[in-house]
A = this chain, B = another copy of it.
Amino acid sequence: MDTASPLFLALDLTGVFAFALNGALTAIRVARLDVVGVVTLGIITALGGGIVRDVFLDSLPPATFSDWRYLAVAAAGSLVAFVLGHRLDRWTNPIVALDAAGLSLFAVAGAIKALSLDAGIAQAVILGAVTAVGGGTLRDVLIGRIPVVLRSELYAIPALVGALVLVVTTELGAPEVPAAVGGAVLCFVVRMVGVHYGLHAPAPPGAPEEDR
């Protein structure tokens, strides 16, 4: 997929908006923050994963930070959450779906960028997942809780699956657009199935079951 095409840009910015909105809402619910904190955490949730990926790829300055459109969309999503946060409770389902869409787009886009910069196969899969979950992880660290992605829910696994499908199929010679669509759709489906049925990744043997 041409990462400079208008379609790619539109999809990517949709993911940024979704992550900023959801990231800022999570921050508001968990911690007592002011407007600087909410907008900062929304932007970090939206752009943090891509920035970490770009550090690992030596692709600095980070692309999403240099491009004012990403900053503007991330700030807009965060401000919507700041202003309307207490009225968005009824929109939980659409927001979860939008977040899953962002997860899928970021996992695939992150893996594409890693491959284009000659990362290895395993590294591209990992960096796809890092792009998808890195921002939320930074947000959780900043608001003082153990990152959700480390302890419950199927969140990192769909991102790894989506990136893996993209990487394996393109390495086998598949054209990039169907590979990207396939990886993103699979990631989205796994994530939404996990949310619907309350699935979790396996815990260590002998770990207590309650609260999980």
Q: Does A182 contact B (CB under 8 A)?
A: no
Task: Please state if B143 and A146 are interface contacts (CB–CB under 8 Å).
Answer: yes
Q: How far apart are the CA atoms of A202 and B146 in the complex, in Å?
A: 27
Q: Min CB distance, A50 to chain B, in Å?
A: 12
Q: Which residues of B contact A144 (CB under 8 A)?
A: 144-146
Task: Please state if B58 and A203 are interface contacts (CB–CB under 8 Å).
Answer: no
Q: Min CB distance, A161 to chain B, in Å?
A: 12
Give residues of chain A (61-112) contacting chain B, Cβ–Cβ below 8 Å: 61-62, 65-66, 68, 71, 82-83, 85-86
Q: Which residues of B contact A33 (CB under 8 A)?
A: 146, 150-151, 203-204
The oligomer's copy count stands at 3
User: Known contacts A56-B62, A60-B56: does B123 contact A32 (CB below 8 Å)?
Assistant: no
Partner of A40, one of B60, B150, B204: B150
Partner of A201, one of B34, B83, B145: B34
Q: Which residues of B contact A35 (CB under 8 A)?
A: 201-204
User: Known contacts A33-B151, A35-B203, A142-B150: does B66 contact A123 (CB below 8 Å)?
Assistant: yes
Task: Please state if B56 and A150 are interface contacts (CB–CB under 8 Å).
Answer: no
Task: Please state if A60 and B68 are interface contacts (CB–CB under 8 Å).
Answer: no
Most buried by B among A61, A120, A202, A211: A61
A residues near B (Cβ < 8 Å) are 28, 31-38, 40-41, 51, 55-58, 60-62, 65-66, 68, 71, 82-83, 85-86, 119-120, 122-123, 126, 137, 141-147, 149-152, 156-157, 200-208, 211-212
